[in-house]
């Protein structure tokens, strides 16, 4: 692999991603992605590669790695966390890639597929991109939780709400999100026994019936400046608890998303950025093997 592996660096509100374009290759059923190198070789994305690229000192750094491949729609997306684990959903990465594909094709709407399911994306103008993240999962077995329970108020200190958005979420409603030390609070909840697949953790402060301030601890990543699926889960949890309506503004550490829980799913709208493109060197790739 003499020419290395091309990649793109993108972010949505500081929630940052490395994106690999594998549309010229075939993605095997095993879900591990195969990406064409610059001279046409195939390179397999493994958990070890995701971890190496995700390291912010020895690699490129990211919250998630996303792979674009051919699918039944405009493209199929596969996501890896920075610890190398797979994630079925990543809302902000989906919006970033949707914007890239819209700019590439001139389309204003897209049909994307993920392990979460089929997702629709729309160009909203003024640099904003919207993605329908699908219907939330509200039953304990779908999120999933360890056993049957009321998902609206879990038997955990703080009585958080559990929601699935293709990945599990645990939302705590607090008086002041700034007073919560997420570095201390997040890991214990991520690995709580009620969540057999671990969970994303949100602390949310209701500002008004259409306004929430939220901070995020992401499963397999840590504290992030933003999270699309977490924003969707928090909006759903707040509406279910009667704290807000179904259309809310969510202010995160990295910026603002608009969330609208409609009959056809949870729509998320916000800005994206393609920061730079680069190439992972052959030397770096060889060091991961």
With a threshold of 0.75, does the pTM exceed it? yes
pLDDT one digit per residue (tens) for the chain, 289 residues: 568 999 999 999 999 999 999 998 654 444 567 777 654 567 789 999 999 999 999 999 999 999 999 989 999 999 999 999 999 889 999 999 999 999 999 999 999 999 889 999 999 999 999 999 999 999 999 999 999 999 999 999 999 999 999 999 999 999 999 999 999 999 999 999 999 999 999 999 999 999 999 999 999 999 999 999 999 999 999 999 999 999 999 999 999 999 999 999 999 999 999 999 999 999 999 999 7
pLDDT of residue 244: 98
Query: d(Cα 84, Cα 21) in Å, to the nearest integer?
Result: 18
Helix (H) or strand (E) holding 251: strand 247-252
Q: Contact, 149 vs 138, CB < 8 A?
A: no
Query: d(Cα 204, Cα 222) in Å, to the nearest integer?
Result: 17
Query: d(Cα 138, Cα 65) in Å, to the nearest integer?
Result: 27
């Amino acid at each position: 692999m003499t020419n290395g592996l091309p990649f793109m660096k993108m972010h949505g509100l500081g929630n940052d991603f490395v994106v690999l374009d594998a549309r010229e290759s075939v993605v095997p059923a095993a879900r591990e992605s195969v990406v064409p190198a610059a001279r046409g070789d195939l390179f397999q994305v493994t958990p070890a590669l995701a971890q190496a690229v995700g390291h912010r000192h020895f690699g490129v750094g990211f919250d998630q790695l996303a792979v674009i491949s051919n699918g039944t729609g405009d493209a199929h997306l596969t996501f890896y966390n920075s610890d190398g684990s797979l994630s079925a959903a990543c809302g902000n990465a989906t919006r970033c890639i949707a914007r890239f594909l819209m700019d590439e094709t001139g389309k204003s709407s897209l049909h994307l597929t993920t392990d979460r399911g089929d997702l629709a994306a729309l160009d909203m103008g003024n640099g904003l991109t919207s993605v329908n993240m699908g219907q939330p999962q509200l039953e304990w077995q779908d999120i999933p939780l360890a056993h049957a329970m009321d998902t609206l108020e879990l038997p955990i200190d703080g009585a958080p709400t559990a929601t699935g958005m293709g990945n599990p979420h645990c939302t705590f409603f607090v008086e002041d999100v700034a007073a919560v030390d997420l570095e201390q609070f997040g890991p214990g909840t991520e690995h709580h026994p009620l969540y057999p697949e671990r969970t994303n953790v949100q602390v949310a402060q209701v500002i008004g019936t259409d306004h929430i301030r939220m901070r995020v601890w992401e499963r397999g990543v840590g504290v992030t400046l933003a999270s699309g699926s977490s924003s969707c889960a928090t909006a759903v949890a707040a509406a279910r608890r009667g704290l807000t309506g179904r259309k809310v503004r969510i202010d995160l550490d990295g910026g603002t998303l608009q969330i609208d829980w409609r009959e056809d799913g949870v729509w998320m709208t916000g800005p994206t950025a393609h920061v730079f493109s680069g190439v992972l060197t052959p030397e770096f790739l060889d060091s991961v093997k």
